[in-house]
Amino acid sequence: MGHIERVAIIGAGNMGSGIAQKSAQEHFLVEMVDREQQWVERGESIIAEFLSEAVERRIFRPHQVEEIQSRISSVVGVENTSQQTDLVIEAVFEDLEVKAQVFDLLNENCDDSCIFASNTSSLSIDELAERSGRPDRFIGLHFFYHPAKNRLIEVIPGTKTTQDTIDKVIQYCRTLGKVVIVCADRPGFVVNRFFVPWLNEACLLLEEGVATAAQIDAVAMRVFKIGMGPFALMNLTGPPIALHSSDYLAEQLDTPRYNGAENLRSLVEANASWDLNGDSNCDENAEMVIKERLMGQVFAVAGQIVDENICSLEDVDRGAKVGLRWAKGPFELMNRVGIIESKKMVEKYCELSNQEIPQCLQRDTPFHFSWVDREIRNRIATITINRPEAMNALNEAVVAQLSEVVEEINQSDDVDVIVIDGAGKAFVAGADVKFFVDKIRAEAIPEIYEFTAQGHQLLNMIESSEKTTIALTTGLALGGGLELALSCDYRIGTRRTSFRFPETSIGIYPGLGGTQRPPRICGIPAARYAVLAGNHVDSQTAMDLGLITHLVDTNEINQTIENIQSIGKPKEKYPAKPANPESSVAKFAEKFFADINMEKILAAEVPSGFDEQDPLVIRQMKQLSRTAPIALKMAEKLIEATSDTNLSDGLSMELSQLHEIFGTSDALEGLSALIEGRRPTYSNS
């Protein structure tokens, strides 16, 4: 499979400029194209404003902004789009004929290998594909506003879209850090299919006099645990968009219930906004009606999406949580409310809307969610932890599902290589901290031990697998996620790779092999640098230390995996020294975290022979000062034990001390502080 490097965005409006900005941020070469100079300049100013705000918020530094802007070329005239473009994303007005005209011009100029994509929230992808002139290399993309900030993207293949095209575009989207939902070409796709009727249902409740707009918003915010209700959202995005989308869905799905409410139509004609003034409290009867109608509508349409095989129920929930920032998705909400009660709401709504009750809702038991996907191609099994809304954090369900999948693939004769990946921008951002806090407060530390022991079993399965194992750590890997990666034979990283062991700063030590595998990989001093001080490790440092084995560009990942497949398992997984001993970090760690210095370091003193004003020394002492003393000492003892124990015995030792560390006051304080977003205060008890 080739790769995408050069991207052209047709349309320099709010969406187009946002897509261009995000693409440039992720190191793609970008052309931002519009038909007139004034529109191109407007797009440039939108990008400049967003990036200036990012500098103020310390997201980017000025030199990074200059680099981002240098990767964006402005082009006037679609016909002047570069012939060498790999991917063209059309982001013009939602009109089939307008888009078709753009594709006609592009076909005259772009290479045959170029992929065409349409950023659309509603139009039929198959219709657009036929008008594009290259239906096999055409795909739909639905970016959510603002495309440089919102992490969700819907990828919609057409009937004739090739797998190669799908793979390339998904890789592009993932490089943008997007949470990707691949869905079927149906009106509204996934999110708008249930969200647009939800907005319209709120309008109907207002029209019927059930409550005021302010009251309906207040109930919706409580029920769905969201920051803005339907009317405030329409005021923000524009009532005309809600009306257009409602009418479109009503026509395409032949569902009169979705026709834009008359009060919405009148509001748009008057060029007005919803009045949200007045008391937001309403009586219990009105609140119950609002709750049942809005929930019933969402539940019913979510069920239709699954029945029509548009996407999985997990992806429906993912769309709500990532794209709309709901606390829970429709199916999780049904589990919380109760399946029987949810079905009653659906039945009432379906009677109102003259729709059938979805087949997948004909049940009396809660929904089960799968967080682990698998795919086998060319004897390579890719296991993807697909919980991006939670940064793929490890919980009991994820560990159990991962264990089941790894065990199954280990027994397969059709697989040589296992690749473990994480959906979204993180590989795995550690374990579910709330689980630990809840168990400590419930005096159920044995359950923490059992969960961790199951994690050890999983990592041991990976460690001892006869297959070649690869962790695709192309994003953030923290704590348990990094421990998972280090159990693999190889770790592939990119410039976006970022590692950290935060445990000692939150009152515990890394208990999934984090005190055992790093010393055996990069040596004890370097392991102390990473584990005890909890230093952030960027991609180059990770490569120098040996925490990743391959540092590549995103477009080289597939070839690297194939190369590893031909080589097989490494001759020496645990060299116990940095991969590049001459790197500045390796040299510093070797000296600063030497055995002779550890007594003073654990006593919070600068080791002899080091300048207290040295920035590197200052940083280490600052990092160490923020750790829990008990956790720091226990972690050091476990790391030191690697010098005279084998891996199996070291892991057993690490696991055996979990009751002690989680029984400390500092563990509860550190973990609680992380959840509460504050700095912990440790009592050394």
136 φ, ψ (degrees, to nearest 5): -75, -25
| pLDDT score for 93 | 87
Span 451-469, average pLDDT: 98
What distances in angstroms separate CA 99 from CA 66, 88, 190, 192, 248, one per listed residue?
Answer: 32, 12, 22, 21, 17
| pLDDT score for 95 | 87
Token pair 């972690």 is found at 635
CA distance 128 to 613: 63
| CATH 3.90.226.10 residue window(s) in the chain | 372-676
Shortest CA distance to 148 belongs to which of 244, 65, 245?
A: 65
pLDDT exceeds cutoff 50 at 1: no
Packing angle of the helix pair 647-656, 445-463 (nearest 10 deg):
170
| pLDDT score for 121 | 86
First to last CA, the chain: 56
- The upper half-sphere exposure of residue 413, i.e. CA atoms within 13 Å in the direction of its Cβ, equals 0
CB 234 within 8 A of CB 262: no
CA distance 175 to 30: 14
Q: E strands of 170-259, at which residues?
A: 179-182
pLDDT tens for each residue of 358-410: 999 999 999 999 999 999 999 999 999 999 989 999 999 999 999 999 999 99
The CATH number of 191-361 is 1.10.1040.50
**Architecture (CATH level 2) of domain 372-676:** Alpha-Beta Complex (3.90)
CA distance 481 to 291: 39
pLDDT tens for each residue of 579-590: 999 999 999 999
| pLDDT score for 3 | 84
Local structure of residue 394 (DSSP, 8 states): B
CB 428 within 8 A of CB 392: yes
CB 316 within 8 A of CB 302: yes
Span 287-315, average pLDDT: 97
Rg (CA), the chain: 27
CA distance 576 to 558: 28
Looking at this protein, which amino acid is placed at residue 288? M
| CATH 1.10.1040.50 residue window(s) in the chain | 191-361
| CATH 3.40.50.720 residue window(s) in the chain | 6-182
pTM for the predicted model, two decimal places: 0.90
What the block records as the tokens of 124 is 């039929």
CA distance 552 to 491: 11
Which run of H or of E encompasses 163? Answer: helix 163-175
Helix-then-strand count for the chain, H and E: 30, 18
Strand partners, 90: 10, 118
What the block records as the tokens of 648 is 């199996």
CA distance 309 to 358: 12
pLDDT exceeds cutoff 90 at 640: yes
CB 235 within 8 A of CB 277: no
pLDDT tens for each residue of 59-111: 999 999 999 999 999 999 999 999 999 999 999 988 889 999 999 999 998 99
What mean pLDDT value characterizes the chain?
Answer: 95
Q: Look at domain 6-182 and name its CATH class.
A: alpha beta
pLDDT tens for each residue of 197-250: 999 999 999 999 999 999 999 999 999 999 999 999 999 989 999 999 999 999
High-pLDDT (> 90) share of the chain, %: 96
pLDDT tens for each residue of 495-544: 999 999 999 999 999 999 999 999 999 999 999 999 999 999 999 999 99
| pLDDT score for 2 | 63
Token pair 């994690």 is found at 455
